[in-house]
């Protein structure tokens, strides 16, 4: 019996290669949105007060069809910039969990999609994310972005630590680690991950966390 190796790789720019259909962008008034982060085909998008998760289905889907992009946890009006940061961090954490072996089961709900994070070892749903954010009044509950982020961070990886010989995988891991810091935005996190990757290439004894700290010190 064979098992799929954990920490599957996703190519860089996976979201950019599978953009949202123009019809969905137009219907939700999201033309020209900014992609804040992209880890393993999971990202966060923003346009003015709107913010949302962006997800692309697994490579090699049913009948060889092209992977389909989805919008989830759509928040039409941000409560604060801190909330926008939580969306970015949640996307990065979901990307990390996906790399470790979790499956993203996406279910269309109108123009958006509900997301279930599935543990491949048990087939159980580890985390559910609605198609729309409940907003300020109800957002403090289980479906609020801060609560979902805490739940995602509490989940263990589905597989053992990754083989970091792949520069692309290592870069995505470094990006995820950088985004755990609430004070670091998406662009700065990407720059730190780039610098940390160069440090690891120059000193193979550095682990990801140590390389990131060294990159922060400049």
Residues 4-23 pLDDT 10s: 444 556 777 888 888 899 99
Q: Give me the mean pLDDT over the 131-154 stretch.
A: 81
pLDDT tops 90 at residue 120: no
Pick the most confident of 69-78, 96-105, 204-213. 69-78
Q: How confident is the model at residue 2 (pLDDT cuts 50, 70, 90)?
A: very low
Instruction: Using the structure block, give the residue that is written with the tokens 């962008």.
Output: 25
Q: Any idea where the domains of the chain sit in the sequence?
A: 14-154, 167-217
Residues 62-100 pLDDT 10s: 555 678 899 999 999 988 888 889 999 999 999 989 988
Q: How confident is the model at residue 24, as a pLDDT?
A: 93
Q: How confident is the model at residue 126, as a pLDDT?
A: 96
Residue ranges of alpha helices (H) inside 33-185 are 81-100, 135-138, 145-154, 167-178
Rounded to 10 deg, the angle between the 167-178 and 186-202 helix axes is 130
Give the span between the Cα atoms of 48 and 84, in whole angstroms.
11
Q: How confident is the model at residue 141 (pLDDT cuts 50, 70, 90)?
A: low
Q: How confident is the model at residue 154, as a pLDDT?
A: 95
Burial class (CB in 10 A: 0-12, 13-18, 19+), 55: buried
| Ranges 4-13, 176-185, 192-201: which has the least confidence | 4-13
Residues 19-65 pLDDT 10s: 899 999 999 999 999 998 888 899 999 999 999 999 998 766 555 56
**Torsion angle of the four alpha carbons 193, 30, 125, 7, in this order, in degrees rounded to the nearest 10:** -30
- The conformation of residue 39, written as its DSSP 8-state character, comes to E
The model's pTM is: 0.84
Q: Give me the mean pLDDT over the 207-217 stretch.
A: 87
Q: Please, what is the average pLDDT of the chain? A: 85
Q: How confident is the model at residue 150, as a pLDDT?
A: 94
């Amino acid at each position: 019996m064979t098992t799929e190796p954990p920490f599957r790789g996703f190519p860089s720019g996976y979201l950019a290669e599978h953009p949202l259909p123009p019809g969905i962008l137009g219907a939700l008034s999201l033309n020209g949105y900014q992609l804040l982060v992209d880890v393993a085909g999971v990202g966060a998008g923003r346009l003015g007060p709107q913010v949302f998760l962006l997800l692309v289905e697994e490579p090699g889907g049913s009948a060889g069809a092209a992977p389909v992009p989805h919008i989830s946890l759509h928040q039409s009006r941000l409560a604060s910039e801190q909330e926008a940061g939580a969306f970015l961090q949640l996307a990065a954490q979901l990307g990390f969990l996906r790399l470790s072996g979790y499956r993203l089961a996406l279910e269309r709900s109108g123009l958006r999609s509900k997301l279930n994070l599935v543990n491949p070892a048990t087939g159980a749903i580890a985390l559910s994310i609605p198609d729309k954010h409940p907003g300020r009044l109800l957002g403090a509950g289980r479906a609020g972005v801060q609560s979902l982020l805490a739940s995602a961070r509490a989940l263990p990886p589905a597989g053992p630590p990754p083989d970091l010989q792949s520069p692309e995988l290592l870069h995505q891991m470094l990006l995820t680690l950088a985004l755990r810091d609430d004070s670091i935005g998406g662009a700065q996190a990407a720059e730190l991950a780039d610098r940390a990757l160069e440090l690891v290439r120059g000193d193979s004894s550095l682990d990801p966390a140590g390389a990131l700290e060294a990159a922060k010190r400049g």
